[in-house]
Amino acid sequence: MSGVPPLVLIRGPEQVLAERALAQTLDALRLTAPDLEVVRLYAAAYEGGQLTLEASPSLFGGAKAIVVRDLDEGGDELQLDVLAYVAAPQPDMTLIVLHKGGVRGKKTLDALKGAGARVVDAPAITSDGDKMSFAMHEFRAGRRKATAEAVRALVEAVGKDVRELASACQQLIADTEGVIDEDVVARYHGGKVEASGFKVADATMAGEVGEALRLLRHALSVGVDPLPIVAVLGQQVRQLIRVGAAGRGRRDDIARELGMPPWQVDRARRALAGWQAEGLGRCLQAVAAADVAVKGGGRDPVYAVERLILDICAERTPA
């Protein structure tokens, strides 16, 4: 027995996760049916009756998997044909339906779930935190240890596209040995890492005004938008404020309370040595003003970021 039920629903917008779920499902079926026939139906090109025709018993027998892609884009004919199949599934047949999300096809999804379909979620990976968790999982699955700082640098360098991030993780797993740290990431993605908003923010929060402005110019020259740089600076200021207000409790307890990874708590605590609460409050006000400016409220977004860097560095006191 393959352990795969006759009906499988893969739902969610993240195509990397959806493709992996599909591949894993087909691999599981092939464990007991090496000659598995796979038929793929695409919503954009679907014609009424195709599913019914493909699901008809074959004279030669054998296991078959029918993959229906993009059900969320399918017309009424596809929806009705899937509903009809779900009501009377065929033996030695597995129907795998992919749905990226939205309300279209909801009746069909409900019918699949009501018929006992295995549901595999492929949720969107959009935030930096989600991408870091994804990359950490990639390294763990590859039996490799990666530092939090390395993962953070990698996400900032290549994390706009999850598929590219997955490929970068696999490259580092295949091409390197030992612990994957920031130096390893820099060797493979040095230009992108240096151009990241995180590098600009790190130098700014450390009070290194010259280095921060240099990194800002480099980031802008390779196409980094001012808006995410302001967002990262705001994130770091808020993290310092939250960790500072949390007091001297155990790191793990504070991490749970604040919803932050423990390494971020450690990092914020080290950075707090150069800050006073009043100064961080003024930095937060400066971030808010810069945010308005880069979103269209000012004449020059680049000047707004430069001004923000200068204002933050001026507030930092020597450690």
pLDDT tens per residue across span 130-165: 899 999 999 999 999 999 889 988 988 887 789 989
Q: Please indicate, yes or no, if residue 2 is contained in any of the structural domains.
A: no
Specify whether 152 is located in the same domain as 247: yes
Specify whether 74 is located in the same domain as 137: no
Q: Please indicate, yes or no, if residue 1 is contained in any of the structural domains.
A: no
Q: Please indicate, yes or no, if residue 255 is contained in any of the structural domains.
A: yes
Specify whether 114 is located in the same domain as 61: yes
Specify whether 139 is located in the same domain as 252: yes
pLDDT tens-digit readout, 192-243: 665 678 888 889 999 999 999 998 988 888 777 888 889 889 989 999 999 9
Where residue 12 sits, what CATH number does that domain have? 3.40.50.300
Specify whether 186 is located in the same domain as 162: yes
Report DSSP state, residue 301: H
What is the signed CA dihedral for 317, 291, 309, 278, rounded to 10 degrees? -10
Domain boundary among 61, 91, 121: 121
Q: Which pair of tokens denotes residue 246? A: 């949390």
pLDDT tens-digit readout, 287-316: 999 999 998 876 789 999 999 999 999 999
Domain boundary among 96, 121, 146: 121
User: Bridge partners of 41?
Assistant: 68
Residue 317: the pLDDT is 79
pTM, 2 dp: 0.65
Structurally, the chain folds into a number of domains equal to 2
pLDDT tens-digit readout, 43-96: 989 999 999 999 987 766 789 999 999 999 999 999 999 999 999 998 889 999
Residues listed for the chain:
319
Specify whether 136 is located in the same domain as 269: yes
Q: Please indicate, yes or no, if residue 311 is contained in any of the structural domains.
A: yes
| 66 and 55 Cβ atoms separated by less than 8 Å | yes
Q: Please indicate, yes or no, if residue 85 is contained in any of the structural domains.
A: yes
Task: For the chain, report the end-to-end CA distance as a whole number of angstroms.
Answer: 64
Specify whether 83 is located in the same domain as 155: no
Which domain covers residue 51, as residue numbers? 7-121
Specify whether 145 is located in the same domain as 269: yes
Output the DSSP codes for 66-98.
EEEE-GGG--HHHHHHHHHHHHSPPTTEEEEEE
How far is Cα 315 from Cα 309, in angstroms, rounded to an integer? 10
Specify whether 163 is located in the same domain as 275: yes
Where residue 267 sits, what CATH number does that domain have? 1.20.272.10
Specify whether 111 is located in the same domain as 179: no
